[in-house]
Amino acid sequence: MDYFAPNLPEEEIRKISSLGLAHLGDAVYELMVRSWLCAIGRATAKGLHAATIRYVSAPAQARAAAACLPHLSEEEEAVYRRGRNTKSVPGRRSASHEEYHAATGLEALFGYLYLKDRRERLHELFEICIRSIDAAQDGA
């Protein structure tokens, strides 16, 4: 199996728990953020961690999820809901319960798309995420 482009069959992905998809999607999303920050020279080496946190925090991901929702297919929305509705305990107090669940839904979606090797779709949604987070932070 090519772990950089797994392209798993749907029945194999269904065997993965929602938290498993979110766990993988968290890494995919953060790798995309880190790659983007380095590629565009958005932050100094010293500021890369802080810049990354601005985009990968649960509140930022919740805003990104809200921006992505109108653009999701039925299949993608079902994956998002499956991740969002997962029963789990939020890890940090920096996010509300709703933000944490929305972020988990977004991460599950990114994990799913990664496992399906839908790179182009990941890039499309990632652009929506970045634009929505930047717009919210520019307005703050």
Nearest to 56, CA basis, from 119, 110, 98, 113: 110
3-state secondary structure (DSSP) of residue 54: helix
**List 26, 117, 134, 138, catalytic entry:** 26
Whole-angstrom distance, CA of residue 128 vs CA of residue 4? 23
Amino acid identity, position 104: T
C-alpha neighbours within 13 Å on the C-beta side of residue 137: 15
3-state secondary structure (DSSP) of residue 97: helix
DSSP-derived secondary structure letter, 69: G
Instruction: Assess whether 26 carries a catalytic annotation.
Output: yes
Active site residues: 26
